[in-house]
Structure 1
């Protein structure tokens, strides 16, 4: 298997049929073996039943991963990547906004430039200016500055990966938009590139994203920054803060000690005394938190096989596996 196409879908009953047809048309000239993996992320409409109508279709190697409930796009993408058999993996959205006709060209570009990840750049986005373009523009620059991986479009789901690389990355939470940053923790950022791709306006259904996503991106970005720098040594992060506060507390308490026992002044009602004590307690808490975080990190690395989703059933042209 040369290429696996992974497509998470959620309540896309009007789009899933045309999506499969469009992928078949786009990949008709692709000479190597490929497969399509649809991940139904707990849809409550007819998405799953309409997708299953294409199973067994001649010339289409279709597998459908049905999630037990809605776990979110990141978990759905992780489930599809785990199921993928291809040497290369392509991901795209299921709402028809990504154009699958870009995939063969992106595969060729990834091989030509010897990259491990090629990210689509929606250079001419067909989205609203205020609710989508402006927040995305701000988020892309924040992510690039903090992670050091400079891309124009982090949010584009159309990406091509080498399976051996992306399967080393464990996706959690809502971190799919930060995949290039996670990949940069496995390979040099010089092996991550981008390529302009076509972007279409949404044709059916409603967008799953709104302006509130901007605030979640900021919180997720802080998590990414922490994991990129302190994932294997969280004790250094909390310990550094604790030692800094402890040193500041030590200076305050030393000054008050001199003021009390040498100069003879009353310090019991002074706000500075309370600040010194609270800083000392905070320092102790941060240092102990760092120790606990180190213990949790070691537990995590011993059990990286754990997953954060549940697959109800896998449908394919040959059989159905629970």
Structure 2
């Protein structure tokens, strides 16, 4: 069996050599065949120079360098596209994820036949106010929305069967929800393993408080996509029909009342003076627009060329 370790990074020059040595030692002591794929997401320090040097020294090291910073999801997608291992491990480059966890994750995939195993940093060394508490709230909301009973959606240390990473498309900021994306694609054997969390040794975190806001917005997006992503007309068509019917019956009511008053010889007023006229008009317009949104969504799905939203500047050992 062959293992691919996929590592997205941004400005992690201090930790790369130490991280690779640690991974290599773990792999060799367990007699694993392996490759390490570094994806440089637009670093402005010497990270790429270090990756270049490692790739010249070790054939197991492969590198992808982005033209600019595109984000962790895009980096993972690029790494997944070239990963050859039967089991694929993802981890962060800041040494907060321990390579010593790789054998345990690998064994859960190969012996327990999990499709995906997510790490759970049960004991964390992050700031309680700015990271731990928001993270707990975020994970609670993710569990309730997705139906997956994972404790730590945002842990970068995960293991996958190769077929999972070749099936799931990661874009935008959806890296937090790869287990949900995998579940939506039919990979239901999803497990969790408590993993060791290391205190940051070098540099500073690349994520601010905005990641939790973006995370909740992405959670709403993925919740919608999981239900209606492949059939948008079922959502927009339903509410479009309801809105159009409200408008139609309101218009029918206005017309019937007008005819009744005329037949009774009662003095009539202008239709535009009736508030129901505006309710009917607005409802029918909104209903029509929702229908159009559903049709456009269906057309986009059928015409989607699966375009990659990043540009690769350079590759190593590929």
Q: TM-score range by the shorter chain?
A: over 0.9
What is the aligned counterpart of 2:213 among 212, 215, 227?
A: 215
Cα deviation 1:148-167 (Å, max 9, x = unaligned)? 22210100010000011220
Report SS of the residue matched to 2:54.
coil
The reply on whether 1:50 has 2:50 as its aligned counterpart is: yes
TM-score, structure 1 normalization = 0.92
Q: Relative to structure 1, is the Cα distance of residues 188 and 73 closer, same or farther in structure 2, using a 3 angstrom cutoff?
A: closer
Alpha-carbon distance between aligned partners in 1 of 2:133 and 2:166, rounded to the nearest angstrom: 32
Alpha-carbon distance between aligned partners in 1 of 2:177 and 2:208, rounded to the nearest angstrom: 18
What is the aligned counterpart of 2:299 among 295, 300, 303?
A: 295
Aligned to 1:193: 191
Cα deviation 1:237-279 (Å, max 9, x = unaligned)? 1111101111222232222223333235534223332122111
Alpha-carbon distance between aligned partners in 1 of 2:80 and 2:70, rounded to the nearest angstrom: 15
Aligned to 2:72: 73
Alpha-carbon distance between aligned partners in 2 of 1:136 and 1:55, rounded to the nearest angstrom: 36
Deviation at 1:141, TM superposition (A): 1.8
Structure 1 or 2, whichever has the larger Rg, is: 2
Aligned to 1:234: 232
Deviation at 1:188, TM superposition (A): 4.2
Alpha-carbon distance between aligned partners in 1 of 2:162 and 2:11, rounded to the nearest angstrom: 27
How many pairs are equivalent?
312
| 2:27–2:33 CA contact under 8 A, matched in 1 | no
Aligned to 1:259: 257
Alpha-carbon distance between aligned partners in 2 of 1:19 and 1:32, rounded to the nearest angstrom: 17
Structure 2: runs of 5+ lacking an equivalent: none
Structure 1: runs of 5+ lacking an equivalent: none
Alpha-carbon distance between aligned partners in 2 of 1:255 and 1:208, rounded to the nearest angstrom: 59
The reply on whether 1:84 has 2:83 as its aligned counterpart is: yes
CA RMSD after TM alignment: 1.6
1:30-179 matches, cutoff 5 A: 30-57=30-57, 61-179=60-178
